[in-house]
């Protein structure tokens, strides 16, 4: 289990702006099983989700970790400070992504502006990098009553239209907000994704 307090983000872990702990654990498990050479995170907020990438780099499961946010918070800067292989980028993803030198296999987590105006151009930039895996948060948030998440819902259906195999955890759980939906997409079914889901989000977890 991830120790969020060790990274100074325990107080932010319950915030609606942060990814649920359970979903952070799912991402971390996927990074361990799939071991992409590079992991790119778009949208860090306070860094609750960023912890998964930091831990993956420290464990040697990921070689390079790029964090992109329009306004990098002190908690993100602190957890990345002095960690080899971690690079912070302050700016819009559509401006940063074209300049990234990435190796493959590549995993990308999309969690920036969720609006329908922002997500389509961002997705095109992500797909231009030829990722092998995509995570996206809040893909069912609009249906759950959250505002300004129509772009995330569109992203899920657009990836399916393009032939990506999508696994979504959107189970409503007491005391959690996992019903907002986290998507993990690969080009074709991947047993590692399901194994990671069973370990962190499945009925027995």
Q: What is the pLDDT of residue 101?
A: 85
200 Cβ contact partners less than 8 Å away, ≥ 6 residues apart? 22, 25, 26, 29
pTM: 0.95
Beta strand 38-42 with 182-186 is unpaired
Helix extents (H) in the chain = 21-34, 50-59, 74-80, 93-96, 119-128, 150-161, 191-200
Over the stretch 145-202, which tens digit does the pLDDT of each residue have? 888 899 999 999 999 999 999 999 999 999 898 999 999 999 988 899 999 999 999 7
Closest by Cα among 96, 94, 95 to 67 = 96
Total H helices, total E strands in the chain: 7, 7
Helix (H) or strand (E) segment spanning residue 38: strand 38-42
Give the pLDDT band (50/70/90) at residue 12.
confident
DSSP character at residue 114: -
CB 56 within 8 A of CB 32: yes
72 three-state secondary structure: coil
Res 204 pLDDT > 90: no
- Give the strands of the sheet with 165-169, arranged side by side: 86-90, 64-69, 38-42, 106-110, 133-137, 182-186, 165-169
Give whole-number Cα distances, 179 to 23, 88, 143, 194, in Å: 11, 29, 9, 18
What the block records as the tokens of 105 is 């296999």
């Amino acid at each position: 289990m991830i120790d969020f307090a060790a990274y100074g983000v325990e107080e932010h872990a319950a915030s609606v702006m942060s990814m649920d702990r359970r979903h952070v654990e799912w991402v971390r498990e996927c990074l361990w099983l799939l071991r992409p050479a590079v992991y790119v995170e778009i949208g860090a907020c306070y860094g609750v989700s960023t912890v998964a990438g930091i831990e993956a780099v420290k464990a040697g499961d990921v070689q390079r970790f790029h964090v992109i946010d329009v306004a990098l918070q002190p908690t993100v800067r602190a957890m990345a400070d002095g960690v080899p292989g971690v690079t912070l980028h302050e700016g819009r993803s559509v401006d940063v992504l074209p300049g990234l030198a990435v190796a493959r296999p590549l995993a990308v987590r999309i969690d920036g502006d969720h609006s329908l105006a922002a997500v389509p151009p961002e997705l095109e930039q992500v797909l231009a990098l030829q990722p092998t895996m995509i995570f996206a948060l809040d893909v069912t948030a609009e249906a759950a009553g959250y505002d300004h998440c129509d772009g995330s819902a569109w992203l899920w259906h657009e990836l399916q239209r393009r032939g990506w195999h999508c696994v979504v955890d959107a189970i409503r759980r007491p005391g959690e907000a996992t019903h907002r939906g986290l998507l993990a997409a690969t080009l074709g079914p991947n047993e590692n994704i399901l194994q990671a889901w069973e370990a962190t989000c499945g009925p027995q977890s």
